[in-house]
Chain A
Amino acid sequence: MALFALEHLSFAYPGAATGALDDVSVEVGRGEYLCVCGKSGCGKTTLLRQLKSVLTPHGTRSGAVLLDGTVLDEVPLATQARRIGFVMQDPDAQIITDRVWHELAFGLESTGCEESALRLRVAEMASYFGIGDWFHRDVCELSGGQKQLLNLASIMAMQPDVLVCDEPTSQLDPVATTTFLDTVRRINRDLGVTVIMSEHRLEEVFACADHVLVLDEGRVTAQGTPREVAAALHAAGDAMTFALPSPVRVYYGVEGVEPRQREDARDEFQESEGILSIGSRNGARQSEFRSDWFGVAEPQSEDCLSSDVPRPAIFPCPLTVREGRKWLVERVLADPPARVAMADEGYGMDGREMAVEMREVWFRYERNAPDVLRGADLRVPSGSLFAIVGGNGSGKSTLLKCLCDVARPQRGMLRVLGHDIKGRSRNDPTHGDVAMLPQDPANLFSKGSVREELAEMATREERIAAVARDCGIERLLDAHPLDLSGGEQQRVALAKVLLTEPRLLLLDEPTKGIDAFFKRSMAALLRTLAERGVTVVMVSHDVEFCARHADLVALLFDGAVVTTATPRRLFSDSAFYTTAANRMSRSVFAGAITDEDVIELCLG
């Protein structure tokens, strides 16, 4: 019997015209990993909240939620609290007490538990999660990633049978995200705890899941194993395909929706030309392929190639970079493409006016604190879309703060839009030319409706209407800003910032917590702004976004800019700090950094 079963579940919020969930049926077996995905606002959170009675929102419900065959509402709340663990989005607000150890013990204290058993459970969870070092700390000293791990550990201390995670990583940076998802995966694998995870960043979760459920406007559009779902979504031409991991997208981009039966082609190829002359149609490039390929190939695929064992007619869709790389090598060997390198278009810096010029800038927050910027040099051409990437603590956000003059460098030269920052009064009118979109867009909201938010920035109606149209928020004008989804909040905040008519727009982690679709429309908006002459500087952890949309990328490390180059140049030069498409294709193609590049080269 399935652990959780949803039977024809429908749900509507009070007063809503359309239901938030419409006839959802799914079964989750013991020890299974279920991934729930879909655009933001598709009903993921509503669905997951049906899985625990105390969290279920008010509204009308039909259908049934069964836990071990019992209707969930008839399961006592104390049992539910113990058996169903729930991790929410906001790492901060979920924490209840002020000390790490107390937080770990809270659930057990509440449900009642022998004191000796309590000590043991807390001790073992602290060890399992590696919390020993910060066991006595005050929770406000923890980083976001540590807070979310603490939430997970406090729930795991109650030894639940099922762990429900509602977009747990949407407010974390990629490093913390990977740590968190790895931990969840380990819990699923080592402890056999069932996991139900909703996520919009599918790169990491998709391949881990046993079962994937895709929602659109409260309806199930696809469900099954990850491969089945990938096939179904591509066959339907669903917009969700944008959110799938790179290997999957490249595979379908190249092989087409109905993977072509290549068996005949391959047999013919082997008979007529033989193994050793692979790629002879491409002449000189032949050796390049072979040497690269043997360097990375796994013995198994080599066997396939050299022995007489027939190769599988259709290579199954790859889900991870590892599988993608294997598939791509096979594919390229079987059907050598005409080109193996993407040309770098370059980005002419010469003769362009510089929006930002930074030379040897040093900055630290306090007299005795360590330097955060250590001789940073940066040149940002006007009208460009400029991305700054780098790890945590490399000084990215500090650099932005210097650009908008919230932090003044102690040493070095900094010219912003032609004005030297030094010796300029903070009330200088040219400050209005620089504006920053904060990491958490909600920090800019203080009014009851989006309309009032916008009116706070400008008085002219037509100007507000124009910006609202640009940002695509005309429909949202009467909504409360905090009721909006992450992506919508981002746009409203951006609209507020744009109303100041900045010539230099700074963005701090603009893609944090927003889904693949919003990312696309935001990129389009940023491109429009750049074409109108606004210089856009963003710091981001999102390598994929920067690779696809930026004109120039600077890599920041240890408070200094290591290199500035076009994304194609920078990401094809690095093996680790690069996109999934590049990691997958670097042994066969040069300079392919986006999914589209790889597809183009394969088909070209």
Chain B
Amino acid sequence: MRPDAFSTHHPAVTLVFFAGVIVLCVLVQQPVLQAVGFAGGAVYYLCLRGRDAWRLLLGLMAAFVVLTAINPLFDTLGDTVLFAYLGGRPYTLEALAYGASTACMFASVMTWFACYARVMSTDKFTYLFGNRAPALTLVLTMTLRLVPTYGRKARQISTARRCAGLSMGAGSLRHRARDGASLLSALTTWALEGAVTTADSMRSRGYGTNAGRRPRYARYRFGARDGLLLVVMLACIAVTCTALATGALAVTYVPAIDVPALPPLGVAALIALAVLVLVPSAIDAREAIAWRCSLSST
């Protein structure tokens, strides 16, 4: 994984950031702000994954085109008919524009969720909520551990069966179904056996013997830079929300496209959103520059 300075901030800051950005990306319909939201996510995802990021980004761009193009097939509202098909069914510009807006929303949310998955590891999540619901978070951690373990075991069983002459994925459908059932049964039995051991191991290490508050091995400290960043982010979110609530960012696509010029509050919201979505990338960039400088000065 590439070094990412934003990830080293306190998990609460990270969570507020992603929650804020994703909600705003869903609510905002103003095309300029939507583009900014997507661009910010794309830049940050590139910071996180480097060249590997293009697979997702290009895929999302293709999805954007497809979603935009098919929207008018389901939605025939709109005054400007571009052409008609299937004996007069209209394909309208307004529906096309509305499709583009929805597709853009979809693409930005996907991008931001991809970033979220990279940055907000499960231990950060459990760190934040471990105190509120210790039992629930423990179940979550254990479940998360099981998913990859099951996958690996299933592959092992399937290879073992294949090597022992119990063919998998060959023969008639009935035969294959029976093989699949055997695999599932082997996996379940194994999982139950393992669960008994895990339960023993938990009780052996004193799980449930402490009635008081469960202490935590905390790896995060809420520092001054976290406080500062949180204030900046909350301010940006507040400005954008105010603009949304007062209608400064209102647009309509159907029946006619109406995208008014941005009022002063709208411009402020645009700047605020741009600052917000570029925060992680900017932090990464600053760190990269600082690193370069320290290298060149030595």
Residues of A within 8 A of B (CB): 52, 54-55, 76-78, 81-82, 86, 88, 90, 92-99, 101-102, 104-115, 118-119, 122, 139-140, 151, 154-155, 158, 401, 404, 406, 426-427, 431-432, 435-438, 440, 442-447, 456-457, 482, 493, 496-497, 500, 502, 506
Distance to closest chain A CB from B126 (angstroms): 8
Q: Contact: B215 with A118, CB < 8 Å?
A: yes
A to B CB contacts below 8 Å, 20 in the list:
A55-B204, A78-B209, A81-B206, A82-B206, A88-B201, A92-B149, A93-B193, A93-B194, A93-B201, A96-B142, A97-B145, A99-B122, A102-B126, A105-B216, A109-B214, A431-B165, A435-B164, A438-B160, A445-B189, A447-B185
Q: Contact: B214 with A110, CB < 8 Å?
A: yes
Asked if A436 meets B164 with Cβ closer than 8 Å, knowing A81-B204, A445-B189, the reply is yes
B140 closest partner in A (C-beta):
A98
Q: Contact: A115 with B218, CB < 8 Å?
A: yes
Q: Contact: A93 with B198, CB < 8 Å?
A: yes
A400 closest partner in B (C-beta):
B163
- Kindly list 15 other residue pairs between chains A and B, CB separation below 8 angstroms, not including A52-B204, A107-B206: A54-B204, A78-B206, A90-B197, A93-B195, A96-B198, A97-B145, A110-B208, A140-B145, A406-B163, A438-B164, A442-B190, A444-B166, A482-B189, A493-B164, A506-B163
Q: Contact: B217 with A97, CB < 8 Å?
A: no
Q: Contact: B164 with A496, CB < 8 Å?
A: yes
Residues of the B chain whose Cβ atoms lie less than 8 Å from the Cβ of A98: 122-123, 141-142, 144-145
- Please tell me which stretch of B49-57, B151-159, B258-266, B267-275 contacts chain A, meaning at least 4 of its Cβ atoms lie within 8 angstroms of it: B151-159
**In the complex the two chains form, what is the Cα distance from A115 to B183 in whole Å?**
45
- 204-245 of chain B: CB within 8 A of chain A: 204-210, 212-219
Any A CB within 8 A of the CB of B59: no
B200 closest partner in A (C-beta):
A55
Any A CB within 8 A of the CB of B161: yes
Q: Contact: A155 with B205, CB < 8 Å?
A: yes
Any A CB within 8 A of the CB of B162: yes
Asked if A81 meets B209 with Cβ closer than 8 Å, knowing A96-B142, A443-B161, the reply is yes
Which of B156, B165, B213 is packed against the most chain A CB atoms within 10 Å? B165
Residues of the A chain whose Cβ atoms lie less than 8 Å from the Cβ of B213: 112
Select which of B164, B190, B205 is within 8 A of A81 by beta carbon: B205
Q: Contact: B160 with A113, CB < 8 Å?
A: no
Q: Contact: A438 with B163, CB < 8 Å?
A: yes
**In the complex the two chains form, what is the Cα distance from A443 to B193 in whole Å?**
13
Residues of the B chain whose Cβ atoms lie less than 8 Å from the Cβ of A493: 164
Asked if A105 meets B217 with Cβ closer than 8 Å, knowing A93-B194, A110-B205, the reply is yes
**In the complex the two chains form, what is the Cα distance from A278 to B117 in whole Å?**
77
Residues of the B chain whose Cβ atoms lie less than 8 Å from the Cβ of A108: 215, 217
Q: Contact: A432 with B165, CB < 8 Å?
A: yes
Q: Contact: A86 with B204, CB < 8 Å?
A: yes
Distance to closest chain A CB from B8 (angstroms): 12
**In the complex the two chains form, what is the Cα distance from A52 to B206 in whole Å?**
11
Q: Contact: A93 with B197, CB < 8 Å?
A: yes
Q: Contact: B194 with A90, CB < 8 Å?
A: yes
Asked if A110 meets B160 with Cβ closer than 8 Å, knowing A90-B197, A95-B145, A446-B182, the reply is no
Asked if A436 meets B145 with Cβ closer than 8 Å, knowing A105-B217, A107-B206, A110-B208, the reply is no
Any A CB within 8 A of the CB of B186: yes
The 5 closest A-B pairs by CB, nearest first: A81-B206, A105-B217, A436-B163, A112-B210, A443-B160
Residues of the B chain whose Cβ atoms lie less than 8 Å from the Cβ of A113: 215
Distance to closest chain A CB from B17 (angstroms): 22
Distance to closest chain B CB from A488 (angstroms): 16
B179 closest partner in A (C-beta):
A446
Distance to closest chain B CB from A1 (angstroms): 25
Main secondary structure of the interface of B (DSSP, over half): helix
Q: Contact: B209 with A97, CB < 8 Å?
A: no
Distance to closest chain B CB from A459 (angstroms): 14
A135 closest partner in B (C-beta):
B219
Asked if A440 meets B204 with Cβ closer than 8 Å, knowing A101-B217, A140-B149, the reply is no
Q: Contact: A140 with B152, CB < 8 Å?
A: yes
Asked if A443 meets B201 with Cβ closer than 8 Å, knowing A92-B149, A115-B218, the reply is no
Distance to closest chain A CB from B176 (angstroms): 13
Any A CB within 8 A of the CB of B148: yes
**In the complex the two chains form, what is the Cα distance from A226 to B170 in whole Å?**
56
Residues of the B chain whose Cβ atoms lie less than 8 Å from the Cβ of A94: 197-198, 201
**In the complex the two chains form, what is the Cα distance from A114 to B216 in whole Å?**
9
B162 closest partner in A (C-beta):
A406
Residues of the B chain whose Cβ atoms lie less than 8 Å from the Cβ of A111: 205-206, 209-210
Residues of the A chain whose Cβ atoms lie less than 8 Å from the Cβ of B186: 442-446
Distance to closest chain A CB from B50 (angstroms): 16
Q: Contact: B215 with A115, CB < 8 Å?
A: yes
Residues of the A chain whose Cβ atoms lie less than 8 Å from the Cβ of B166: 444, 456-457
Residues of the B chain whose Cβ atoms lie less than 8 Å from the Cβ of A426: 170
Any A CB within 8 A of the CB of B286: no
Q: Contact: B217 with A139, CB < 8 Å?
A: no
Residues of the A chain whose Cβ atoms lie less than 8 Å from the Cβ of B156: 438, 440, 443
Any A CB within 8 A of the CB of B89: no
B217 closest partner in A (C-beta):
A105
Any A CB within 8 A of the CB of B256: no
Residues of the A chain whose Cβ atoms lie less than 8 Å from the Cβ of B142: 96-98
Distance to closest chain B CB from A175 (angstroms): 21
Distance to closest chain B CB from A161 (angstroms): 15
Any A CB within 8 A of the CB of B203: yes
Q: Contact: A110 with B207, CB < 8 Å?
A: yes
A86 closest partner in B (C-beta):
B204
**In the complex the two chains form, what is the Cα distance from A119 to B138 in whole Å?**
19
**In the complex the two chains form, what is the Cα distance from A457 to B200 in whole Å?**
35
Distance to closest chain B CB from A588 (angstroms): 44
Distance to closest chain B CB from A163 (angstroms): 12
Any A CB within 8 A of the CB of B27: no
**In the complex the two chains form, what is the Cα distance from A81 to B203 in whole Å?**
8
Residues of the A chain whose Cβ atoms lie less than 8 Å from the Cβ of B195: 93
**In the complex the two chains form, what is the Cα distance from A101 to B218 in whole Å?**
10
Distance to closest chain A CB from B270 (angstroms): 39
**In the complex the two chains form, what is the Cα distance from A9 to B92 in whole Å?**
87
Any A CB within 8 A of the CB of B202: yes
Distance to closest chain B CB from A421 (angstroms): 14
Select which of B185, B193, B212 is within 8 A of A446 by beta carbon: B185
**In the complex the two chains form, what is the Cα distance from A426 to B170 in whole Å?**
9
Q: Contact: A88 with B197, CB < 8 Å?
A: yes
Asked if A140 meets B200 with Cβ closer than 8 Å, knowing A81-B206, A106-B205, A109-B215, the reply is no
Residues of the B chain whose Cβ atoms lie less than 8 Å from the Cβ of A81: 204-206, 209
**In the complex the two chains form, what is the Cα distance from A384 to B12 in whole Å?**
65
